[in-house]
Chain A
Amino acid sequence: MLIDVGSLAVMGVALGGLLGYAAKKLAVEEDPLEQELQAMLPGSQCGQCGFVGCSQFAAALAKGEAPVTGCVPGGKALAESLAGKLGIDADLTGHEDPVPQYAEIREDLCIGCLRCIAECSTDAIVGAPKHMHTVVLDACHGCGKCFAICPTEAIKMCTVPVTLGTWHWDKPNTGATASANANANANATGVH
């Protein structure tokens, strides 16, 4: 009896010590998660996530205080990558993908004040003082900062149109099973 207890105690101490040593020795430097997350964000500081800028949003993401779907310009693709990075299962089924937008300047209202040009973080607006400004579509990511700052409301946000090149089939809706799933989801959300 005494031998049993003794041997168990010795084993416990030895193995515990080993574990403790391993934990110290093999300890992984803490992931610079926040920085990695920030590197994935657009970096345009648009503030549509509700935070001041991308780095603040990244910090909140790392702490789990912000949803991965928060970044509007990043869209669904970014949300999925962020979820993958954070190792969480993002339920994107219920998430309404924000429709990608772009800014358009109305000639008759633009007074050429340059404010939008200063505000745009991707240099997507070109123009000279007192002359009509124009949006470079390829560079605009629809953050809406120019829309907010324009003194004459000359900027409107438009939805990026679907073209033959970007259109694709929707996910098939397969009758009974699909509606059964929908019911199941509805029930599940009802319980929460």
Chain B
Amino acid sequence: MSSILIDKSAPFTHAPTSVSRTMVTVLAALVPATAFDLWLFGWPALFLFLVTIAACVAFEAASLALGGRTLRPALTDGSAVLTGWLLAMTLPPWAPWWIGVLGALFAIPLAKHAFGGLGQNVFNPAMVGRVALLVSFPVQMTLFVAPQPLFSAGAPGFVDALGITFGSGALDTMSAASALGHLKTELSRGIPVNETLQHMPGLMDTVLGIRVGSMGETSAVLVLAGGLFLLARGVISWHIPVTVLGTIFALGTVFNLVDPGRFAPGSFHLLSGATMLGAFFIATDYVTSPVSRQGQLVYGFGIGLMTWVIRTFAGYPEGMAFAVLLLNAMTPIIDSHFRPRTFGRTRKGDPLPLKREP
């Protein structure tokens, strides 16, 4: 018998959870959507996906080594893989390899380790990566291709794909616009929203994901399925996704009713862009979102609001990434203002009045 028996206070039982288990569950939830997208955009998408994840893991290892910290626990928790995965989902699938590597550089050493590593970062690393890329390389980051499913006619083969991702690129002949981008361009040319929408692919195609966009933007239904899986497993709670989606949908619907020529409908907002991915996988990032349920409701509402505002009024067609970063910055304030009520105390923190009847 020795002091090892008494080196810690209770509890002496623990839920079978761990950080890596949580991360692996999130990754599993992303698999169906990712598999579909990789099929949809073929070899170049797969290369970019792998390059981005590998770069994130490599930067994570380098940052840990530089900080003089032990590599194993941090590398095996899966957080770097998740960041890389999510970052890759927000990139144009045929973007060159260095986009993925640069994105990883922004995401891991700058957004995460400069703040102290896992749990310390203020901003969502994947979103910092995406936004930094979008601002620095607007051309590469907005060049989308039409879906060219793997092994379909006209799809690039393995070798051609290597050229697309690692070579000079062959994008000039294949560019297309994402739905949100198209809407915005047309609107700026004076074509009303409802008219543009009529010429777009049907709702069914949008739901299924046979459309233009970043990997995570295409298959709304599979991303939604993954999100519901996370909800069912208790990894995330409903508070953030429901408020994000609810706010976007409500704003879209109300304003569309007011002026269908100027404002896109709520259903269009829900199914286009990164709405689903953002609501279930990005906004719910533990580290950068508020810890209390009350705070999460405020945070989700803020993201929904900012996303809709940016999409509708700002220069960029998609606002999810910006909205998430803005609300990330608000998280410490939200956390200090929206907290649960302490047992036996009022919201202000004073003891409750003595009441002998319920």
Contact = CB atoms under 8 A, between A and B. Distances in A.
Interface in B1-28: 8-9
Contact of A180 (B8, B9, B68, B73): B68
A89 B68 CA distance: 28
B69 interface: yes
Interface string A165-191: 000010010001000100100000000
Contact of B70 (A169, A172, A176, A183): A176
Name the interface size band of chain A.
under 10
A174 to B, nearest CB: 10
Nearest to A170: B7
A187 to B, nearest CB: 10
Contacts of B68: 180, 183
B9 A169 contact: yes
Contacts of A169: 9
A172 B8 contact: yes
A176 B73 contact: yes
Contacts of A183: 68
Nearest to B67: A180
A123 B69 CA distance: 56
Interface string A3-42: 0000000000000000000000000000000000000000
Contacts of A180: 68-69
Contact of A176 (B8, B9, B69): B69
Contacts, number: 8
Contacts of B69: 176, 180
Contacts of A176: 69-70, 73
A183 B68 CA distance: 10
Contacts of B8: 172
Nearest to B70: A176
Contacts of B70: 176
A176 B68 CA distance: 11
Interface string B56-77: 0000000000001110010000
A172 B10 CA distance: 12
Nearest to A173: B7
A172 to B, nearest CB: 7
A169 B283 CA distance: 38
B88 to A, nearest CB: 30
A74 to B, nearest CB: 29
A183 to B, nearest CB: 8
B76 to A, nearest CB: 13
Nearest to B9: A169
Interface string B64-102: 000011100100000000000000000000000000000
A152 to B, nearest CB: 41
Contacts of A172: 8
A172 B6 CA distance: 12
A180 B69 CA distance: 8
A101 to B, nearest CB: 26
A169 B8 CA distance: 8
B6 to A, nearest CB: 10
Contacts of B9: 169
A172 B73 CA distance: 20
B115 to A, nearest CB: 15
A112 B197 CA distance: 105
Nearest to A169: B9
Interface in B169-186: none
A24 to B, nearest CB: 39
A91 B150 CA distance: 63
Contacts of B73: 176
A172 B70 CA distance: 20
Interface in A128-184: 169, 172, 176, 180, 183
A80 to B, nearest CB: 23
Nearest to A179: B70
A169 B7 CA distance: 9
Interface in B222-265: none
A108 B23 CA distance: 71
Nearest to A180: B69
A186 to B, nearest CB: 12
A85 B8 CA distance: 35
A180 B67 CA distance: 10
B18 to A, nearest CB: 15
A157 B266 CA distance: 79
Interface in B136-178: none
B20 to A, nearest CB: 16
- 4 A-B pairs closest in CB distance: A169-B9, A176-B70, A180-B69, A172-B8
8 contacts: A169-B9, A172-B8, A176-B69, A176-B70, A176-B73, A180-B68, A180-B69, A183-B68
Given A176-B69, A180-B68, A180-B69, 5 more contacts: A169-B9, A172-B8, A176-B70, A176-B73, A183-B68
